[in-house]
Amino acid sequence: MRNPETAPGWGQQPDVMARFLLLFRPRSPLTPRELIGRLEPLIDRFGAEVEHRSPAHLSAMVRGEHETLRLRLIADVQAKADGPVLELVLMSREAMGAGAPQTKERFGSLVAIAAQVMPDLDLVFRSDRDGALPDRD
């Protein structure tokens, strides 16, 4: 039975994991498969190892500079009224109470790499700047 004070999938770690979110909108219509395909150069440059991939989802693990910090990168294509968007989430076990400095630093790298390798996608939301969650409309 899961301890109600722990995060699912992370063993006995408390529910304080770092979570940073990016939301991208394509400038021209793309299918979910095409949006996930746009991540290939980002995955390579970010040093991520893909664990699961489907036409609208991708999950990868990333080793931080410090061997104790493991990050999970999750990509999901979300259907919206004006077309699909690509949601990227970077998570770690690092405590958000202290600002999660290592995860936040890697998140900054993720943002920079994404801007370079996915120029046809507009960054419309980033949680460190715009708040915890985007408008879901």
- pLDDT digits 0-9 by tens, 1-17: 333 444 444 444 444 68
Residue 90 lies in a domain: yes
Asked if 61 and 72 count as a contact pair (C-beta separation under 8 A), the reply is yes
Per DSSP, the three-state class of 8 is coil
Residue 136 lies in a domain: no
Residue 121 lies in a domain: yes
Residue 105 lies in a domain: yes
**Predicted confidence (pLDDT) per residue in 38-61, tens digit:** 999 999 999 999 999 999 999 999
CATH number of the domain to which 114 belongs: 3.30.530.50
Residue 66 lies in a domain: yes
Q: Which two tokens stand for residue 52?
A: 């699961």
Total number of domains constituting the chain: 1
Task: Give the domain range for residue 43.
Answer: 17-127
Residue 91 lies in a domain: yes
pTM of the model: 0.81
Residue 54 lies in a domain: yes
**Predicted confidence (pLDDT) per residue in 64-82, tens digit:** 565 678 899 999 999 988 8
